[in-house]
Amino acid sequence: MKYYIIAGEASGDLHGSNLIKGLLKADPQAEIRFWGGDKMAAAAGTHGTLVRHYKEASIMGFWEVLKNLRRIGRQMRFCREDIAACRPDVLILIDYPGFNLRMAKFARTYRWSGTTARPKVFYYIAPKVWAWKEKRVAKLRAYVDKLFIIFPFEIEYFRQHGIEAFYAGNPLMDSVAGRTAAVPENAEAFRRENGLDERPVIALVAGSRSSEIRYNLPNMVAVSRLFPEYQFVVTGVSWLDRSLYDKYLAGSDVRFVCDKTYETIAQSSAALVTSGTATLETALLNIPEVVCFRSSGISIRIARKLVKLRFISLVNLIMDREVVRELIQEDFNPATAAEELRAVLPGGAEHERMMQDFRALREAMGEPGASERVADEMVRLLNEK
């Protein structure tokens, strides 16, 4: 069968790669055309064609989206044309709702010529409509054939809104299980390979978008100056220009390690993490953390009016209580972040409590294998007559 998959950011690339592995196991003859990244390309191999890398499409923040509407419009037109030319059996949309819901509508309403059947539309990793933009539920009902969710609390939420979603666990358990197997156990070897000294490491996970780096890395670097007994390491990504990091690291003792986020976190005593999937990944790696997030003033003001959640980190959302401290906008300043970091470091007042909470989180997340179970269900539905 022919699959067209759209993932618009780093986390989607990660989950998409594991999904592709499952699809190829269930359907060895699969032809996969996709928007995504290097991980999806590696998973698809000769079965796949990368149409556009997510680094060309990923835009975060209300104000940032407004500034780039023309570019986003061009990308949408190109994507619609490419889907129509590809004529896939199924369109699989991974999160990224601002873009993907429009593609779902297109696939459902486009007049497919000749005898070509309309492609099925599967949505994997539901938009967080329980947080904001609940009106998107109506679009999911109207344009999506099957919704695949990753949080257990979403089952009842979507059922109450007339959608019977498929839940098979959380794919991050697959990602963490797979990638921790590749993490070097020898801390000395990791330090030697990356030019680090003997001090214990604190990871700075400042995000994967240029805007996240600009808003969050400066304060993270400022915190590092208050902990001379530790070495701080920023987890860089290769698709952002190194000069973006260097601008904020100049004059500091912060080290830079590129494309080794899991490895760096796993070798750390603690981490400062920009909100996002990384907050959950860090917890699943059993590394104490403080969630730190800044953005443009306009984006934050809009978010505070529209978003109806008590928390921004996935760890706290899943547990429905404050497991990790969240420092947002003006609360994220060097003095406060340093105080919270000291509390969660080994020997700190909150360290043991956080480790216990992380154990409870892993139990709540379930067993690995979610990606393969989702892929099996997708292929089963496609084979139904």
Residue extents of the structural domains in the chain = 2-169+369-383, 177-365
Q: What pLDDT score was predicted for residue 248? A: 96
Please state the separation of Cα 218 from the chain's center in Å: 22
DSSP-derived secondary structure letter, 6:
E
Domain 2-169+369-383 and domain 177-365, same fold? Reply is yes
Per-residue b/e over 165-186, b at no fewer than 16 CB within 10 Å?
Answer: bbbbbbbbbbbbebbeeeeeee
For residues 339, 341, 344, 348, the Cα torsion angle rounded to the nearest 10 degrees is -50
**Nearest-CA neighbor of 324 among 364, 355, 367, 300?**
355
* pLDDT tens sequence across 102-138: 999 999 999 887 656 899 999 999 998 987 788 999 9
Token reading at 270: 């603690």
Q: What pLDDT score was predicted for residue 317? A: 87
Contact 236, 258 (CB under 8 A): yes
Name the CATH topology of 2-169+369-383. Answer: Rossmann fold (3.40.50)
Contact 316, 322 (CB under 8 A): yes
* pLDDT tens sequence across 40-59: 999 999 999 999 998 776 55
CB atoms within 10 A of CB 155: 15
Q: At 169, phi and psi to the nearest 5?
A: 105, 180
* Angle between helices 242-249 and 210-224 in degrees, nearest 10: 30
β-bridge mates for residue 49, sequence order: 33
Does 385 score more than 90 pLDDT?
no
Q: What pLDDT score was predicted for residue 346? A: 96
β-bridge mates for residue 166, sequence order: 148
Task: Please state the pTM of the whole predicted model.
Answer: 0.74
The alpha-helical segments, DSSP class H, found in the chain are 10-26, 38-44, 62-67, 69-86, 97-109, 136-143, 153-160, 172-180, 187-193, 210-224, 242-249, 261-266, 277-284, 297-306, 314-319, 334-344, 351-365, 370-383
Q: What pLDDT score was predicted for residue 187? A: 77
Does the 177-365 domain belong in CATH 3.40.50.2000? yes
pLDDT over 90 percentage in the chain: 69
d(CA 385, CA 381): 9
* pLDDT tens sequence across 357-384: 999 998 888 888 999 999 999 999 999 8
The alpha-helical segments, DSSP class H, found in 110-135 are none
Full strand arrangement of the beta sheet holding 201-205:
255-258, 231-236, 201-205, 268-273, 289-293, 326-328
Contact 355, 282 (CB under 8 A): no
